[in-house]
Structure 1
Amino acid sequence: MKYAAVGPIAIHLPERVETNAQLKAAYPNWDMDTIFEKTGIAARHIAAPDECASDLAVKACQKLFAENDIDPKSIDFVLLCTQTPDYPLPTTACLVQDRLGLRTNIGALDFNLGCSGFVYGLSLADGLIRGGSIKRVLLITAETYSKYIHEGDRSLRTIFGDAAAATLVEAASEPSLTAFQFGTDGTGADTLLVTRGGNRPASDCIKPRHRQRWESALYMDGPSLINFTVSAVPQLVDDILQAANLKEPAIDLYLFHQATRKMLDQLRERLNIPAERMPMAMEQCGNTVSSTLPILIDSLRRSGKLNRQMRNMLIGFGVGWSWAGCVWQDRWRKDAT
């Protein structure tokens, strides 16, 4: 039996950086000190007008290959998570396959899951590898939420940043991803949505749960999302511990989707987890949707805060509503590649 292991990760952030100071200069009435206190975000990277998810994805993958001496021809499957595809069709993963020069006898697909997407992607990769015919999966997360946000939207513009992450998930002889658990509640669809670009007539689209205060194509009901999260995630944590036959002290780090500092603080208090066991990595890049977890993992690896003995919990949650989690041990080491 082969198991999936999370290998090297490469992050690509767009060149343009938008800081809180710049927003304050453009909008003097925005209380950026209070906004930073709530969000924990001081800057975001913003894609150029002609820069799309595939562009960020390709650059992240090229960086992954170059920094880790990975032969692109060794990739057996591409999984690409995005809620901001280049086109309704063709699949963005197919565009990336061509631009990276990957083999044509591989699989490639998109999946649309936002903030829970990285954990879902790990589960999909795990299943492909356990099936026996796939050895190397290229898991990509790429988002350009900024394209959905109006420039005057104080609520969303101060939170979301654009990014892509490329993660090599490959076959290993021992499991490092266990106890996957999932959750779905479509009644929350009206709390975070974009209705343009689909085929449903505007007159019949899902309506925002409350009044839409801003002109952005993206609508978010922050309070409802927080209520959902602090209700669903503690139960998810319990379910993962039960599935893994572990007690809470066995978990070293809780690696949660980097939504906002306020949301994570409320979860931490609800779960009674000390701050040092729930690290954050969003201050300089914002909420990058499906890319927050790989960005966090990359940050922890670079700072030497992960080792092979640690048991960590990966948790994603958000749009859908959708949530997912698992237990993860980091068995990859750069000097071993």
Structure 2
Amino acid sequence: MNIYIKAISYYLPEKVFDNIELAELFPEWSVDKIASKIGIDKRHISAECETASDMAVKAAECLFSEHNIDRNNIDFVLFCTQSPDYNLPTSACIIQHKLNLPTTIGALDFNLGCSGYIYGLSLAKGLVASGIASNVLLLTAETYTKYLHPKDKGNRTIFGDAATATLVSNDGFAMLEQFSLGTDGSGAENLIVRKGGARQSGAKNDLSFDENNNPISSDFLYMNGSEIFNFTQDAVPKLIADVLQKNELDKENINLFVLHQANKYMMNFLRKKMKIAEENFYYYMKDVGNTVSSTIPIALYHAQKEGYACGNVLLAGFGVGYSYGAVIIKMK
């Protein structure tokens, strides 16, 4: 059975945090320097009372209206987030109720970051292929900005909040081919929020600053940028080679590469290392930033709309966990 991406939509919070505001807070960052090195001009920030599930509901409503989809045909909800409303209940159950979806559907959360969209597509494909579901609503949403310390210049430059909605079904515009998935938990501590889980439920109040005046705290998001970069430059080319082999394709058979939109510097480094022509490599981060699990569907939405997505398209996500995954989609 062939399984397809049928439709994609997304939602961005109203509040915008642009490079002018960022440079005012951190004078050592100039507007031009941020744009040229990171490739991001602005990012959207969730409202104080706006959660990831709130945004996911709005993305789903956009999907239903934009693509004329009957919500009563949805029979499974997959929600990818690392920003759940509560430890329990499951946010996907709350979303089912808010969207007024049938009570006869399945619904679950899964906790992944920048690889989450690829993993979500693999789960959705399995559900449809096995006959468990016919129309899977795959939602991604993150509010990483709520995890950032106000003085965290690097991460505040990169991350933005967003949510996406994708319908996976037995017909659509892009057929899901073979996947390649990977995990290396030895790197877990290089991108982590310690506070809030069972191992550290409360605040530690252990804020300190490194030699570059970057905040380090168990109560906020910590990212070891150099280690994340080392992991990425090693794992991603191998991931791309593996998914090509599983699909019996060569790099030259790929019309477009849509990778996780981490930042411009990292993406350009990977593109050059893998010897991918710039015209076959899609960027969409300037107006949204790094939106974690939502970067790939947002980029794919625009690549399709602009006519760049045709033939064989390779999608790849990688990051926190460490977790990574790739898939080839064949455009109709």
What TM bracket, shorter-length normalisation? Answer: over 0.9
Which residue does the alignment assign to 2:244?
Answer: 241
- Structure 1 unaligned spans of 5+: 332-337
**Are 1:104 and 2:95 an aligned pair?**
no
**Are 1:156 and 2:159 an aligned pair?**
no
CA deviations over 1:166-189 (Å, ceiling 9, x no partner): 001111399821120111001110
Q: Give the TM-score of the pair, scaled to structure 1.
A: 0.92
Trace 1:142-221 onto structure 2 (pairs within 5 A).
Answer: 142-172=141-171, 176-201=175-200, 213-214=214-215, 217-221=220-224
> Contact 2:2–2:175 at 8 Å: present in 1 too?
yes
> Contact 1:6–1:167 at 8 Å: present in 2 too?
yes
Trace 1:258-269 onto structure 2 (pairs within 5 A).
Answer: 258-269=261-272
CA deviations over 1:19-68 (Å, ceiling 9, x no partner): 00112223333334323222111100000000000110011100110111
Q: What SS does the aligned partner of 2:163 have?
A: strand
Aligned counterparts of 1:130 and 1:80: Cα–Cα separation in 2 = 19
Q: Count residues in correspondence.
A: 324
- CA distance change for structure 1 residues 4 and 189 in 2, over 3 Å: closer, same or farther? same
Aligned counterparts of 1:177 and 1:183: Cα–Cα separation in 2 = 18
Aligned counterparts of 1:202 and 1:296: Cα–Cα separation in 2 = 35
Q: What letter is aligned with 1:233?
A: V
Which residue does the alignment assign to 1:272?
Answer: 275
- CA distance change for structure 1 residues 28 and 201 in 2, over 3 Å: closer, same or farther? closer
Trace 1:216-231 onto structure 2 (pairs within 5 A).
Answer: 217-231=220-234
Q: What SS does the aligned partner of 2:249 have?
A: coil
Give the C-alpha shift of residue 274 in structure 1. 1.2
Aligned counterparts of 1:326 and 1:301: Cα–Cα separation in 2 = 17
CA deviations over 1:84-110 (Å, ceiling 9, x no partner): 111111111111000000011110000
> Contact 1:115–1:316 at 8 Å: present in 2 too?
yes
**Which one is further off, 32-41 or 17-26?**
32-41
Give the C-alpha shift of residue 215 in structure 1. 5.1
> Contact 1:149–1:218 at 8 Å: present in 2 too?
yes
Aligned counterparts of 1:174 and 1:36: Cα–Cα separation in 2 = 33
Aligned counterparts of 1:322 and 1:86: Cα–Cα separation in 2 = 23
**Are 1:283 and 2:286 an aligned pair?**
yes
Q: What SS does the aligned partner of 1:114 have?
A: coil
> Contact 1:142–1:165 at 8 Å: present in 2 too?
yes
Aligned counterparts of 1:15 and 1:202: Cα–Cα separation in 2 = 31
CA RMSD of aligned residues (A): 2.0
Which residue does the alignment assign to 2:33?
Answer: 34
**Which one is further off, 256-265 or 21-30?**
21-30
**Which one is further off, 128-137 or 11-20?**
128-137
> Contact 2:7–2:173 at 8 Å: present in 1 too?
no
Which residue does the alignment assign to 2:255?
Answer: 252
> Contact 1:81–1:140 at 8 Å: present in 2 too?
yes
Aligned counterparts of 1:100 and 1:173: Cα–Cα separation in 2 = 22
Q: What letter is aligned with 1:318?
A: G
Percent of residue pairs identical: 47
Which residue does the alignment assign to 2:55?
Answer: 56
Which residue does the alignment assign to 1:306?
Answer: 309
Q: What letter is aligned with 1:263?
A: M
> Contact 1:3–1:175 at 8 Å: present in 2 too?
no
**Which one is further off, 157-166 or 64-73?**
64-73
CA deviations over 1:165-224 (Å, ceiling 9, x no partner): 000111139982112011100111011000111011479x9x9xx969315600011111
Aligned counterparts of 1:286 and 1:140: Cα–Cα separation in 2 = 19
Aligned counterparts of 2:46 and 2:197: Cα–Cα separation in 1 = 22
Which residue does the alignment assign to 2:326?
Answer: 325
Aligned counterparts of 1:173 and 1:12: Cα–Cα separation in 2 = 21
> Contact 2:256–2:309 at 8 Å: present in 1 too?
no
Trace 1:60-139 onto structure 2 (pairs within 5 A).
Answer: 60-139=59-138
CA deviations over 1:118-158 (Å, ceiling 9, x no partner): 00000000000000231100000000000001222101001
Aligned counterparts of 2:22 and 2:232: Cα–Cα separation in 1 = 28
Aligned counterparts of 2:62 and 2:201: Cα–Cα separation in 1 = 41
Aligned counterparts of 1:21 and 1:61: Cα–Cα separation in 2 = 32
Aligned counterparts of 2:182 and 2:172: Cα–Cα separation in 1 = 29
**Which one is further off, 171-180 or 20-29?**
171-180
Give the C-alpha shift of residue 7 in structure 1. 1.3
